[in-house]
């Protein structure tokens, strides 16, 4: 079970790091946060498919 969950968690963590890096570079945290809310479901589904 843990082996199946780990790759997904790893991808989610990588996505979070990338988002934080983009936010840090742009300095527009509110704009990125709003876009994150809009695209959150799409990202979650695409990440889940990519990690399978």
Looking at the whole model, is its pTM more than 0.85? no
Q: How many CA atoms lie within 13 A of 9 on its CB side?
A: 6
pLDDT band per the 50, 70, 90 thresholds, residue 38: low
Note the helical H segments in the chain.
Answer: 2-26, 29-51
CA angle 50, 25, 46 (to 5 degrees): 15
The answer, yes or no, to whether residue 45 has pLDDT greater than 60, is: yes
């Amino acid at each position: 079970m843990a082996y199946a969950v780990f790759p997904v968690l790893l991808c989610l963590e990588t996505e979070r790091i990338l988002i934080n890096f983009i936010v840090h570079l742009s300095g527009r945290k509110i704009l990125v946060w709003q876009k994150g809310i809009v695209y959150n479901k799409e990202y979650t589904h695409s990440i889940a498919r990519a990690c399978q």
